[in-house]
Structure 1
Amino acid sequence: MYKSWWKILGAVLVVYSTVWGFLSTVPELPIIRESIRNLYFHVPMWFSMIVLFSVSVFHSIKFLRTNNPADDIKAVESINAGVIFGLLGIVTGAIWAKFTWGQAWSFDVKQNFAAISLLLYFAYLILRNAIDEEQSRAKISAIYNIFAFPIMVVLLFVLPRLSDSLHPGNGGNPGFNAYDLDSRMRMVFYPACLGWILIGYWIYTILYRVRTLEKNNALSS
């Protein structure tokens, strides 16, 4: 059990942040009001996605250096897990936008760039399925992944700050830290981020084990 301490920690933090996220008090803000509780879910989804994509690009670089098939599997499965959290980020963001901006998708610049970022990784998965030869698929996918990651960073963190945006912290809007993320919310928000990141990594390890077992069974049959 001592090897699984981080899994237990992740589960505890997610349960804590979910329960306390709904029960704790939040600042009274115009327009946002109670919907600010979505901060405990929407933002951690994106953080988890970014961490998982970082794990993926690390293994893609490692694969190009070692040609170890295990690194290729780790790269693709971390992207599979990351895409799940990216979709959850899109959905929770759309729900939040519905209550604060009046519509789920207002074609805000950050919404658009977030969708494009996710499409980059859908393209990665499509590319893998389009190449039959295993070694070529792994190398081309790794190279694509290495270029996709910095593009994703620019789309999510750089370009939105250069344009008008409804999102806090972008387009001249103050970020949450500047005016309303008080100590009460930090006691839930930070554990939520860590908890969901750990759960995301756990999902990635499960996907990797399943893919490895499938590959070993295919080789032995």
Structure 2
Amino acid sequence: MKKYWWKFLGAGLLIYSVIFGFLGDTPRREILNETIRMVYFHVPMWFGMMALMVSSLIYSVRYLRSGDIKYDIYASQYAAVSVVFGILGFCTGMLWGNFTWGDWLPKDPKIIAVEVGLLIYSAYFVLRGSFDDEQRRGRLSAIYNIFAFASFMPLVWILPRLTDSLHPGNGGNPAFGSDMDMNMRIVFLPAVLGWILIGNWISTLKIRLKLINEKINE
């Protein structure tokens, strides 16, 4: 039971953040108003996505060093869940942007960068489906995964900051950082940890299923 503590913690933090995300007090800010609550969902999903991408990257490197197909499975499943989290974060961002910017998909550097970044990671799975030989698939996928990570991070987190952008945290547009209200902080920070833990939990479940299928097909 002790080894499952982080799963219960993740589920508890997620439930807590959802309940207080909708019912907790939030500061009144011009334009944002009640849509500010979206910060409890949109941003933590992206933190979860990044944590999963880092995990996928680590296992890709471990596969290249060891050749153990188990690490290729780990890398692919972490990448799969990270893309799902990225899509969920993108969709919640679209919903939030429609209320605050008046447009679902404005032609904004950050939005365009995210779209390109998710397409880069989606191509990872197309590549994996192109090979039957598991060792060749594993090697090429691991190399591409490293490339995808190295492309995604500067594309999404660095380049948009060098130009004007509607998105908070880019082009001189302040984000919710040190100025975040304490009532929001006590919900936001647990939400970040909760989404990271839940993402890891989902990934481990997918890994177990994949390993079982591999043994059945041997």
TM-score of Structure 1 vs Structure 2, range by shorter chain: over 0.9
Cα distance in structure 1, aligned partners of 2:107 and 2:125: 25
- C-alpha displacement of 1:82: 0.6
1:57 counterpart residue number: 57
CA shift for structure 1 position 168? 1.1
What is the rounded CA distance, in whole Å, between the counterparts of 2:18 and 2:92 in structure 1?
14
Could you say what secondary structure the match of 2:172 adopts? coil
Counterpart position of 2:206: 207
The Cα of 1:107 is off from its aligned counterpart by 2.0
Q: Does 1:87 align with 2:81?
A: no
Look up the SS of the partner of 2:45 in the other structure: helix
Over the residues paired in the alignment, what is the CA RMSD in angstroms? 0.8
Structure-1 residue corresponding to 2:120: 120
Secondary structure at 1:31 match in 2 = coil
Distance in 1 of aligned mates of 2:104 and 2:120: 22
> 2:171 — aligned with what?
171
Determine whether 1:29 maps to 2:29: yes
**Which stretch of the first structure deviates more once superposed, 209-218 or 148-157?**
148-157
Instruction: For residues 159-197 of structure 1, give each alpha carbon's deviation from its aligned partner in whole angstroms, at most 9, with x where no partner exists.
Output: 010011101110111122254x11110000000000010
Counterparts of 2:116 and 2:211, CA distance in 1: 30
Distance in 2, matches of 1:29 and 1:39, equals 13
2:20 alignment partner in structure 1: 20
For residue 114 of structure 1, what is the amino acid of its counterpart?
A: V
Distance across 2 between alignment mates of 1:9 and 1:215? 30
Matching residue's letter, 1:183: M
SS in structure 2 of the partner of residue 177 of structure 1? coil
Query: Secondary structure in 2 aligned to 1:119?
Result: helix
Q: Distance in 1 between matches of 2:59 and 2:72?
A: 7
Instruction: Using the TM superposition, give the Cα deviation of residue 24 of structure 1 relative to its aligned residue in structure 2, in angstroms.
Output: 0.9
Structure 1 position 78, deviation (Å): 0.4
CA distance in 2, matches of 1:127, 1:67: 18
Aligned length: 218
% identity of equivalent residues: 48
**What are structure 1's unaligned runs of at least 5 residues?**
none
After TM superposition, where is structure 1 displaced by more than 2 Å over at least 4 residues in a row?
none
**Deviation sequence 1:18-76 (CA, Å, 0-9, x none):** 00011111111110111010000000111111110100010000001000010000000
Structure 2 Cα separation of the partners of residues 177 and 204 of structure 1: 29
Q: Tell me, which stretches of 5 or more residues in structure 2 are unaligned?
A: none
The residue type paired with residue 107 of structure 2 is F
Partners of 2:207 and 2:214 lie apart in 1 by 11
Distance 2:178 2:202 in 1: 34
Query: What is the CA–CA distance in structure 1 between the aligned matches of 2:49 and 2:120, rounded to whole Å?
Result: 13
- Pairing 1:123-142 to 2, within 5 Å after superposition: 123-142=123-142
TM-score (norm 2): 0.98
Cα deviations by residue, 1:99-124 (Å, 9 ceiling, x for unpaired): 10001111211111111111111000
Matched residue, 1:183: 182
Name 1:2's counterpart in structure 2: 2
Secondary structure, aligned partner of 1:96: helix
